[in-house]
Structure 1
Amino acid sequence: MVANALRVGYGRAVLAMLSAILLLVGLLGFQAAGVAALQDDAEETQANATVRVVHASPGAPEVDVLLDGLLLAEAVPFANATDYVPMAPGDHVLQVVPTGGTPDDAVAQVDLTAEPAAAYLFVAAGPLAEIEGRLYDVSLDDIVPDNARVRVVNAAADADGLALAVTGGDTLFDGVGYGDATDYIDLVEGTYSFDLRNAEDLALATVPELVIEEATAYDMVAIGAADGQGPSLLPLLTQVSPPCGAVLSLGEGDVACVRLVHA
């Protein structure tokens, strides 16, 4: 009797242990599946990147720009820029082609690994016979309240060592070589006139009465001479979200904001 009771008790203990093990395995599997699903959801909800095309090749006709072989921007004229166009994060190929052209007709090509929620300038620059594509990141970092950020992008192959100055005031950048982009600097919001100057300090172009708005990035793109006209300056604006502390009037300094949703 005692032996039988022991065997029964032992059997029940083994069954209970096996049940616990199976339950644990099931819970672990469910947890792993949940983590994988969350990772999949995170990948699916990554914010798109954006790219803006600038045609800065003097003498070149209107051009198309292809993204991975598909039309991204059509018939972009010289000295003009498109609006931002969304694209998925990841690896891409950008190509400049004659209007109506195919990838085989590309006259310039750039590979791009687009980061989620990032912004880029794709500039077609250089003379027609030597046209090339250049890529620049646009900073979307928070901007100090009441300020904008400004930089120079030199896409003028015939104008090296450029400077940008406030008309009648301070020089903001100098010695900017062809193909280079300066770092951004902060500039207090207001209305400014800007002079683009060469290495001899001669004014090449002026942008009068440009309204500089806070929480905005300004890319001042220098474009080369064409059709007997001198270089020009193309201001490109990118809206940058202000810090949450500024939006909520929480003052300056390091401020963290939390949004609560009762669902």
Structure 2
Amino acid sequence: MQNKKTSYIRLLHASPKAPAVDIYANGDNILADDLSYGEFTPYLPVMPGSYTIDVYPANNSDMPILTKELDVPEKTIATIAAIGELPNLELFVVEDPQESIQPNTSKLRFIHLSPDAPAVDVVDQDGAILFKDVSYKGITDYMSLLPNTYTVQIVPTGTKQSVLFVPNIRLLPEAFYSLYAIGLVEGDPYLELLIPLDGNSYIET
């Protein structure tokens, strides 16, 4: 019988207006402590299997604001994001696929987690569309780019009206990155991009 292989998960708080949270697995195993909006945990090694995930307001374990059953396959690298607006919080799984990358190349993708934003395009500094017509909960494939410093704009699909301008995105060679769009187009906290280094850049399973 084949041994189970370790997986790696990190948690992301992407629910606008929600308080900082504590996240537990199977009752008393804490995955995230006082995780604020817009923050990631480090990647955590976990055994594959089924987990009951409870999300509580930080420092208040009386009543979870979300309980969710989650299956973690073998040898997976993934981000588990708390998304949506209270009381409709949900967990959304974003896998970091383990794929090849060429020398002197970076890989970039876009993940739309802004609950009130329409479908959007991601446009670079030269006006080229990097990612087109991505709706809420959309996850694009990675695209290969030269390592460099980039500027992007988020533009509602079918318009030329930029709703977010993000300069100085530095992509290093042989690394995977995701652009996570979080926040609100109408209201506070406003739309922003999180640009983490993905675990498939450095984790082997």
Q: Paired residue for 1:255?
A: none
SS of residue matched to 2:52: strand
Residues 146 and 214 in structure 1, CA contact (< 8 A), matched pair in contact too: yes
Q: Which structure has more helix as a fraction of its residues?
A: 1
1:187 equivalenced with 2:145 (yes/no): yes
Q: Deviations over 1:200-226 (max 9, x none)?
A: 332222221111012211111110228
Partner Cα distance (2:32, 2:141) in 1 = 27
Q: Which runs of 5+ in 2 are unaligned?
A: none
How much does 1:132 deviate? 1.1
The 1:241–1:64 alpha-carbon spacing in structure 2 relative to 1, beyond 3 Å, is closer
How much does 1:104 deviate? 5.5
Total equivalences in the alignment: 199
What's the TM-score once normalised by structure 2's chain length? 0.87
The 1:100–1:194 alpha-carbon spacing in structure 2 relative to 1, beyond 3 Å, is same
Which amino acid in the other structure matches residue 3 of structure 2? Answer: E
SS of residue matched to 1:202: coil
1:91 equivalenced with 2:54 (yes/no): no
What's the Cα RMSD here? 2.3
Partner Cα distance (1:89, 1:103) in 2 = 28
How much does 1:186 deviate? 1.3
Partner Cα distance (2:202, 2:14) in 1 = 28
Q: Which structure has more strand as a fraction of its residues?
A: 2
Q: How does 1:138-149 map to 2 (within 5 A)?
A: 138-149=96-107
Q: How does 1:35-184 map to 2 (within 5 A)?
A: 39=1, 43=3, 46=5, 48-69=6-27, 70-102=29-61, 105-116=64-75, 118-184=76-142
SS of residue matched to 1:237: coil
Q: Which runs of 5+ in 1 are unaligned?
A: 1-38, 243-263
Residues 115 and 183 in structure 2, CA contact (< 8 A), matched pair in contact too: yes
Residues 53 and 70 in structure 2, CA contact (< 8 A), matched pair in contact too: yes
How much does 1:153 deviate? 0.9
Partner Cα distance (2:120, 2:31) in 1 = 31
Partner Cα distance (1:173, 1:98) in 2 = 35
Which of 182, 186, 196 pairs up with 2:154? Answer: 196
Return the structure number with greater relative CO, CA threshold 8 A, min gap 6.
2
Partner Cα distance (1:220, 1:201) in 2 = 20
1:231 equivalenced with 2:191 (yes/no): yes
Partner Cα distance (1:93, 1:124) in 2 = 14
What's the TM-score once normalised by structure 1's chain length? 0.69
Partner Cα distance (2:17, 2:189) in 1 = 12
How much does 1:241 deviate? 5.2
The 1:103–1:229 alpha-carbon spacing in structure 2 relative to 1, beyond 3 Å, is closer
Partner Cα distance (1:120, 1:103) in 2 = 28
Partner Cα distance (1:105, 1:177) in 2 = 29
SS of residue matched to 1:142: coil
The 1:107–1:241 alpha-carbon spacing in structure 2 relative to 1, beyond 3 Å, is closer
How much does 1:163 deviate? 1.5
4+ residue runs over 4 A deviation: 101-104
